[in-house]
Amino acid sequence: MIDQLLEAQERFQDELLARSNVVGVAVGYRETGGEFTDELAVVALVEQKKPKEALRPEDLVPRELDGAQTDVLEIGVMRAQQASTPRSRWRPVIPGGVSVGHHMVTAGTLGALVYDRATGEPLLLSNNHVLANSNDARPGDPIVQPGATDGGLSPADVVAHLLRFQPLLYVETAIQPSPPNPQPSPPPTSTDGSGTGSEPQGCFSLVMTLGETLSRANRPQALSVAQSATPFVPSAPTSVAFQHSVPTNGLDAAVARPAPSVQFSPEVLGIGRIAGIRQPILGMRVRKMGRTTNLTEGTVNLLNATVDVAYNTLAGPRTARFVGQVITSGLSQGGDSGALVFDATSGQVVGLLFGGSGLASIFTPIDRVLEALGVRF
C-alpha cells in the first residue's frame, strides 16, 4: 500500500506544490479531529488550513489522486532552529546535545562525535546552518561552544573549525516564504581583534520553517503565520513547469574538526552512547536531546516529505526545497537544530534534526547524512 502512495506522490507532487498554500507533500497517516488514524494517504502540507470558500477551485486538493487517498495537514511555518536563551559552557569534556555554532550564528545543537570513513579522524556533526552559516562560511572558520548567543566568544570558546558541509541549493526566483517573525538579538561579536563587526546570522525559516526563535523574555514566539500578529499571506500559486525546475536538497549538514586541546565525549547528553542506526518508520516513537528543549519525545507521522524551507542568509531571505525528509510531532524549538533523533525504544539513531514549527519537527534520515559527509558513528 505505501509503495502505491509513494508512486502517486512522485507522479502528482509538482501538481500539488503548484497550488496556493501548499508548502510540502509527504506520505503518512490521515488526520481526523486532531488525531492520526491508521489510514494511509498522500498528504498535502499547508501553512494554514483555510475554508474552501477562501480558495480558488484550482487550488483545492482533490480527495484522491488516481485512486490514492489524500489528506491536508496544517503544519505551520517551520524555521531553521537557532535561538537566544543561554546554555552552559561544557568543559573539560563536551558531549553531544549541547549548544554550539559557527562564531557568526546564534546557536544550534552539537549532534554527536562522528569519524571520517577514510581516515578515522574524529569530527563533530551538526547542520550546515549551525556550523557553516547557511553556506556563508569557509572551511577553517571557528566553531564556538556554547553558541554565540549563549555567550560563546572567539577565540576564548573556540572548540573546533569548520571542515566541510553539504551546500544548500536555493530557489532563485519564485517561492517566497510568508512574512518572517523577528530575529533574536544578535550575539556578541568577536573579541579577538579580527572580527568583522557584522551581526551574526541566524538561519531563518523552512517554509515549513524549522526553527522557532525565542524572545528575550524566554517565551516562545509565534511560529506560524496563523499564530502571529502578522497577517497570513498564502503561498502564491506557481506553474507545474516551475515546480519541475526547482533545485532540491537532501540534507542540511556539516562537520567540523575538533581543536587539538578540546575533548569530546562519544555520548549524547541524557541519552548515552549511540547504539547504531536504523530507518525511521511511520508511528515510531523518537526522542532527541537539544540545546533548548533538552530531552523530548515525539512520533514519526510522515515519510518522504518534500518541503520548501526559508533561510536567512547574508544575501537576505532565501528558500530551499528539501526532499525525502521525515516529519514528526513537535519535539523541538529554536536552537535544537543539529540534534540527533533516536528510536526511543532501541537507542539507535534515525535522523538529524534541522527544524520545526510549533506543530511539527523535521529530520533527515541518518544514513543519507553519514553517506553524504563520508562519516560514521
In this predicted model, what pLDDT tens digit does every residue of 97-142 receive, in sequence order? 999 999 999 999 999 999 999 999 999 999 999 999 999 999 999 9
> Averaged over 336-359, what is the pLDDT?
93
> Averaged over 169-187, what is the pLDDT?
50
Q: Using a pLDDT cut of 90, give the percent of the chain over it.
A: 62
> Averaged over 81-101, what is the pLDDT?
79
Q: What average pLDDT is seen over the chain?
A: 82
pLDDT band at residue 194 using 50, 70 and 90 as cut-offs: very low
Least confident of 142-156, 186-200, 302-316, 325-339: 186-200
Confidence check: pLDDT of 209 > 90: no
Q: What is the pLDDT of residue 237?
A: 72
Backbone dihedral angles phi then psi of residue 59, each to the nearest 5 degrees = -100, -5
- Whose CA is closest to 200, among 152, 168, 160? 152
Half-sphere exposure of 123 (CA within 13 A, CB side): 25
pLDDT band at residue 236 using 50, 70 and 90 as cut-offs: low
Quote the CA–CA distance of 216 and 253 in Å, as a whole number.
Answer: 28
Peptide bond into 155 cis (omega under 30): yes
Q: What is the pLDDT of residue 84?
A: 38
Quote the CA–CA distance of 207 and 76 in Å, as a whole number.
Answer: 9
Quote the CA–CA distance of 311 and 170 in Å, as a whole number.
Answer: 9
Counting other chains too, the contacts that 110-115 makes at CB distance below 8 Å and 24 or more residues apart are 110/145, 110/338, 111/338, 111/339, 111/340, 111/352, 112/266, 112/268, 112/274, 112/340, 112/349, 112/377, 113/264, 113/265, 113/266, 114/255, 114/370, 114/373, 114/375, 114/376, 114/377, 115/375, 115/376, 115/377
Q: Using a pLDDT cut of 70, give the percent of the chain over it.
A: 81
> Averaged over 200-219, what is the pLDDT?
34
> Averaged over 234-258, what is the pLDDT?
88
Q: What is the pLDDT of residue 130?
A: 97
> Averaged over 61-72, what is the pLDDT?
92
Q: What is the pLDDT of residue 226?
A: 24
> Averaged over 263-268, what is the pLDDT?
95
> Averaged over 24-35, what is the pLDDT?
89
pTM score, two decimals? 0.74
Q: What is the pLDDT of residue 73?
A: 92
- C-alpha cell of 42? 498522500
Q: What is the pLDDT of residue 187?
A: 39
Confidence check: pLDDT of 304 > 60: yes
Q: What is the pLDDT of residue 313?
A: 87
Q: What is the pLDDT of residue 308?
A: 84
- C-alpha cell of 351? 535522523
Q: What is the pLDDT of residue 230?
A: 33
Residue 143: strand pairing partners:
102, 160
- C-alpha cell of 276? 547504531
List domains and CATH numbers for the chain.
2-74 (no CATH), 75-377 (2.40.10.10)
Instruction: Pick 222 or 107 by higher pLDDT.
Output: 107
User: Exposure pattern of 26-65 as b/e (b: 16+ CB <10 Å)?
Assistant: bbbbbbeeeebeeebbbbbbbbbebeeeeeeeebebeeeb
